[in-house]
A and B are shown apart, each in its own frame.
Chain A
Amino acid sequence: MASMSEISTRIVAQTETLSTFATLRFSGDRLEPESITAIIGTPPTRAYRKGETYRTGPSGQTAKGRTGVWYLSTQRAVTSQTLADHLDHLVNVISPRGGSDHVPALRDLIARDRLEADVSCFWYGTAGATPPDIPEGIRKAIERLGATIETDFDTD
């Protein structure tokens, strides 16, 4: 059960946060999207091979992949206004609680196909709002994958 302090922190985060989400991305010229999906068992938000044409949105406009990308965004999957909840969702994708750990297989694939893995954190708050912290446990779980963490924090 959450403590009063944790609940208070979350309420402040919700009122000061206008938008937050996190993304997990694998990329590389040799990336085969199906290989990532087969390990993780979760479909990506968008994925394409190098040189492949992909749709950028509902209008049907297309772009050509400069490199291969497998990309999962929490923007629509997680409704919480707390960044940690979005990151927790991604950690649960790569290492499901109560399920098999996908990190060793992902690390093998990253090394074999010379891929890059990174996680981004987007947060936008009201004027004067304090940007969120990334919990240490989540940071370690992401780093265990060999992924870098990027932050994009801004306020009105």
Chain B
Amino acid sequence: MPYRFGMARPRIIWSGSGNPTNAVATRLSVPRWRLRNALHEIKRRSKLGARDRITIYDDGTVRDANGEHVGNIYEDSRAD
């Protein structure tokens, strides 16, 4: 989500390569399989490798190592 004046600025809850910890899934209130599922889809679509560094925010936003938006956990995880 874009940051707007008056809204709480999204906070970083994970930054690194590899797979996020269970705490990240808990913080986003999604099962870990949904988090992994969404990250796989986002990285594939963005031509990022499994070991590429990403940053995840508490609103679900995912950015690459350059700070570019590449996806959102809530939008990219299958809800069913």
Total cross-chain contacts (CB, 8 A): 75
State whether A73 touches B44 (Cβ < 8 A). Answer: yes
A52 an interface residue at 8 Å Cβ cutoff? no
Tell me whether A56 and B72 are in contact in the complex, defined as CB-CB below 8 angstroms, given that A19-B37, A124-B36 are known contacts.
yes
Complex Cα gap A108–B31 (Å)? 42
Given contacts A76-B78, A154-B36, contact A23 B69 (CB under 8 A): no
B53 interface residue (CB < 8 Å to A): no
**Contact call A56/B36, Cβ cutoff below 8 A:** no
Can you pick out 27 interface pairs between chain A and chain B where the beta carbons lie within 8 Å of each other?
A: A19-B34, A21-B37, A23-B41, A23-B44, A56-B42, A56-B69, A56-B70, A56-B75, A56-B76, A57-B75, A61-B1, A62-B69, A65-B47, A66-B46, A67-B47, A69-B47, A71-B44, A71-B45, A73-B44, A75-B37, A75-B78, A120-B40, A120-B44, A124-B36, A150-B50, A154-B36, A156-B33
